[in-house]
């Protein structure tokens, strides 16, 4: 190697995510306590989830079902033989002083999910992110800190055990992610899959989906990983992306200035848009795992496994591929339509009822989504059925009503429901697209406004707008706009 010449080192980031998904079962993982969020502190508790001596946990079968479905959807191998282990650590919100988790034999391993980013030209760029493992475990409780040393002279901490024993699936990715954008998309895709399966509501504000990021940087070409730093406390996809991009810059900056990175956990400060050190890590923690003696190992009968697999819905990535290849929709439209399973199913039901794909997509992504957002509603709450939307699209395509008229009818259809055809008839709204009828109306208009006609023919052509206005007024907005304009111009020019 030539010495003395300055070498410009390029760095790359190596990123992996650990995601905790709260499984949306009605009861906890090892007891019958409710998992309802937001109830009074220490209301949903019993001797089992409070970790009293002598109690026996029993695995909630729905937790196993949800974990297997999630693992299958993430293309994992479902283990023939799996077990629970005790992970020892002391924390005030963990009454047993250990957490029941899975260590060396998780329920699912070796999977992947596909993320899709859209490049500047609008084309999808797809990448597989490996899934190392998915395992089941119980959540810990929650500490609530109160008081103030400065104001009252005392501080206190309260503990709420409502969350202890709430079932979690922890999903660990391979370090395949290279940027904040890829990480945010990975987390979003994971959430989509969980929501499609109905196994986790993905509510980040309530903590139903929590992501921890491991990130290191290394010079491109170097095989050895750099110092791994963990970031916590990101409660939106946006924050995940920005925290990672910030951290990549920070770590490269430290290395370039000759500094050293330490293994540590950092917190994302949303307000200041930066990460700050929370605690240094000294080597790997020793949790002294050992097999949970009170729970039997898990072996799932083949028929049961086959049944759960058969119950999986078409997943978001499959839908995206199908909408693009079969329906010819753009990558952008496809992403929006498949983001939420209920919206995708509404769209598909509209097509099944005869609506054209492009029109149905435009209505759903445009006016209908606008209405849902402004009213804070889910698509299932609107009175307009997919069949009625298909009928409305049919009326436009048959030239019975204009798009403008359809838009005017929409608010009533969204809130009252019913048949667009019947509504059009009841309101006498049929579009006038008969050439003879329109010509007769235009003739009348020209006779009624001789001055304007003379001025138009004298060169003041912008008076066309005046005549269009009169025509729409006279027809109550029912004139087929395209045809009416053509005919009007012809007549105005005296043809
Ligand atoms: Zn309980």
Distance 236 CA to ligand 1 centre (A): 30
Residue 90 has a pLDDT of 87
Distance 192 CA to ligand 1 centre (A): 29
The CA-to-CA distance between both ends of the chain, in Å, stands at 85
CA distances from 69 to 85, 107, 122, 171 (A): 21, 11, 32, 13
pTM for this prediction:
0.85
Residues in the chain: 495
Distance 103 CA to ligand 1 centre (A): 23
Distance CA 287, CA 279 (A): 18
Q: What is the DSSP string of 342-396?
A: HHHHHHHHHHHTT--HHHHHHHIIIIIHHHHHHHT--GGG-S--HHHHHHHHHHH
Helix (H, G, I), strand (E, B) or coil at 233: strand
Distance CA 419, CA 209 (A): 40
Residue 5 has a pLDDT of 53
Q: Are 44 and 238 in contact (CB under 8 A)?
A: no
Contacts of 272 (CB under 8 A, 6+ apart): none
CA distances from 438 to 13, 213, 472, 489 (A): 67, 66, 11, 12
Distance 139 CA to ligand 1 centre (A): 12
Distance 163 CA to ligand 1 centre (A): 10
Distance 25 CA to ligand 1 centre (A): 13
- 103 burial via Cβ count (<10 Å: 0-12, 13-18, 19+): middle
pLDDT tens across the length of the chain (495 residues): 445 555 677 999 999 999 999 999 999 999 999 999 889 999 999 999 999 999 999 999 999 999 999 999 999 999 999 999 999 988 888 999 999 999 999 999 999 999 999 888 888 899 999 999 999 999 999 998 887 777 777 788 899 999 999 999 999 999 999 999 999 999 999 999 999 999 999 999 889 999 999 999 999 999 999 999 999 878 899 999 999 999 999 999 999 999 999 999 999 998 999 999 988 876 667 889 999 999 999 999 999 999 999 999 999 999 999 999 999 999 999 999 999 999 999 999 999 999 999 999 999 999 999 999 999 999 999 999 999 999 999 999 988 888 888 999 999 999 999 999 999 888 877 778 888 888 988 999 899 999 999 999 998 988 899 998 888 888 877 888 888 888 999 988 887
Distance CA 411, CA 371 (A): 8
Distance 326 CA to ligand 1 centre (A): 49
Two structure tokens written together for 84:
């629970």
Distance 49 CA to ligand 1 centre (A): 4
Residue 1 has a pLDDT of 46
Two structure tokens written together for 66:
């949800």
Residue 191 has a pLDDT of 97
Distance 63 CA to ligand 1 centre (A): 15
Contacts of 328-333 spanning 24+ positions with Cβ under 8 A: 328/357, 328/358, 329/357, 329/358, 329/361, 330/122, 331/116, 331/118, 331/122, 331/123, 331/124, 332/118, 332/122, 333/361, 333/365
Distance CA 10, CA 218 (A): 8
Distance CA 477, CA 465 (A): 14
Distance 178 CA to ligand 1 centre (A): 41
What residue ranges define each of the domains in the chain, with the CATH number in brackets? Answer: 11-303 (no CATH), 314-426 (no CATH), 435-492 (1.10.10.410)
**Cα-Cα-Cα-Cα dihedral sign, residues 77, 82, 85, 91:** positive
- Rounded to 5 degrees, φ, ψ at 251 are -65, -40
Distance 164 CA to ligand 1 centre (A): 8
Distance 20 CA to ligand 1 centre (A): 20
**Cα-Cα-Cα-Cα dihedral sign, residues 46, 296, 70, 301:** negative
Distance 27 CA to ligand 1 centre (A): 8
Q: What is the 3-state secondary structure (H, E, C) of 420-433?
A: HHHHHHHCCCCCEC
Pseudo-torsion of CA 129, 130, 136, 138, nearest 10°?
-50
CA distances from 47 to 33, 84, 96, 365, 405 (A): 10, 20, 11, 50, 63
In 216-289, where does DSSP find H-type helix?
237-256
Using DSSP bridges, classify how beta strands 290-291 and 11-22 pair: parallel, antiparallel or unpaired: unpaired
Residue 211: strand pairing partners: 19, 234
Distance CA 186, CA 363 (A): 28
> What DSSP character marks residue 10?
-
Considering only the C-alpha atoms of the chain, give the largest distance between any 2 of them, rounded to a whole number of Å: 101
Residue 340 has a pLDDT of 95
Q: Tell me the CB-side half-sphere exposure of residue 155, using CA atoms within 13 A.
A: 8
Name the helix (H) or strand (E) containing 19: strand 11-22
Helices 341-352 and 316-327, axial angle in degrees (round to 10): 30
- Rounded to 5 degrees, φ, ψ at 314 are -65, 130
- 151 burial via Cβ count (<10 Å: 0-12, 13-18, 19+): exposed
Assign 3-state DSSP to the chain and report helix, strand, coil percentages, each to 5: 40, 20, 40
């Amino acid at each position: 190697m030539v010495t003395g010449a300055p070498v410009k080192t390029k760095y790359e980031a190596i990123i992996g995510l650990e995601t905790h998904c709260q499984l949306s079962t009605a009861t906890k993982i090892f007891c019958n306590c409710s998992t309802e969020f937001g109830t009074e502190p220490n209301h949903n508790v019993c001797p089992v989830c409070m970790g009293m001596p002598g109690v026996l946990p029993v695995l909630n079968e729905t937790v196993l079902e949800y974990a297997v479905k999630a693992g299958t959807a993430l293309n994992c191998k479902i283990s023939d033989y799996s077990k629970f282990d005790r992970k020892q650590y002391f924390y005030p919100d963990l009454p047993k002083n250990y957490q029941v988790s899975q260590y060396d034999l998780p329920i699912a391993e070796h999977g992947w999910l596909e993320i899709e980013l859209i490049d500047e030209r609008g084309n999808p760029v797809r990448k597989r992110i490996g899934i190392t493992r998915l395992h089941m475990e119980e959540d810990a409780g929650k500490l609530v800190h109160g008081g103030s040393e400065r104001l009252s002279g005392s501080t206190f901490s309260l503990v709420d055990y409502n969350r202890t024993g709430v079932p979690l699936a922890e999903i660990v990715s391979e370090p395949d992610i290279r940027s904040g954008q890829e990480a945010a998309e990975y987390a979003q895709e994971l959430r989509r899959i969980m929501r499609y399966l109905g196994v986790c509501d993905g509510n980040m504000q309530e903590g139903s989906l929590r992501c921890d990021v491991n990130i290191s940087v290394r010079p491109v070409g170097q095989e050895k990983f750099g110092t791994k730093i963990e970031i916590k406390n990101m409660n939106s996809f946006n924050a995940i992306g920005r925290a990672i991009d910030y951290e990549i810059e920070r770590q490269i900056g430290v290395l370039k200035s000759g500094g050293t990175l330490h293994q540590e956990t950092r917190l994302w400060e949303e307000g200041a848009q930066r990460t700050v050190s929370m605690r240094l890590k000294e080597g790997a923690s020793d949790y002294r795992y050992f097999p949970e003696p009170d729970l039997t190992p898990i072996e799932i009968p083949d028929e049961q496994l086959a049944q759960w697999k058969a119950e999986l819905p078409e997943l978001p990535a499959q839908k995206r591929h199908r909408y693009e290849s079969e329906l010819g929709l753009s990558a952008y439209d496809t992403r929006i339509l498949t983001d939420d399973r209920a919206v995708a199913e509404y769209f598909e039901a509209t097509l099944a009822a005869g609506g054209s794909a492009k029109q149905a997509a435009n209505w759903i992504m445009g006016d209908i989504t606008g209405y849902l957002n402004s009213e804070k509603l889910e698509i299932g709450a609107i009175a307009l059925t997919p069949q009625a939307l298909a009928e409305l699209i049919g009326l436009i395509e048959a030239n019975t009503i204009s798009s403008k008229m359809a838009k005017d009818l929409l608010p009533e259809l969204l809130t009252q429901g019913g048949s667009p055809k019947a509504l059009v008839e009841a309101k006498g709204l049929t579009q006038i697209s008969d050439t003879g009828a329109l010509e007769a109306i235009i003739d009348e208009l020209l006779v009624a406004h001789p001055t304007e006609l003379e001025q138009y023919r004298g060169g003041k052509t912008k008076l066309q707008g005046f005549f269009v206005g009169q025509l729409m007024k006279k027809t109550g907005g029912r004139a087929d706009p395209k045809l009416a304009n053509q005919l009007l111009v012809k007549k105005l020019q005296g043809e």
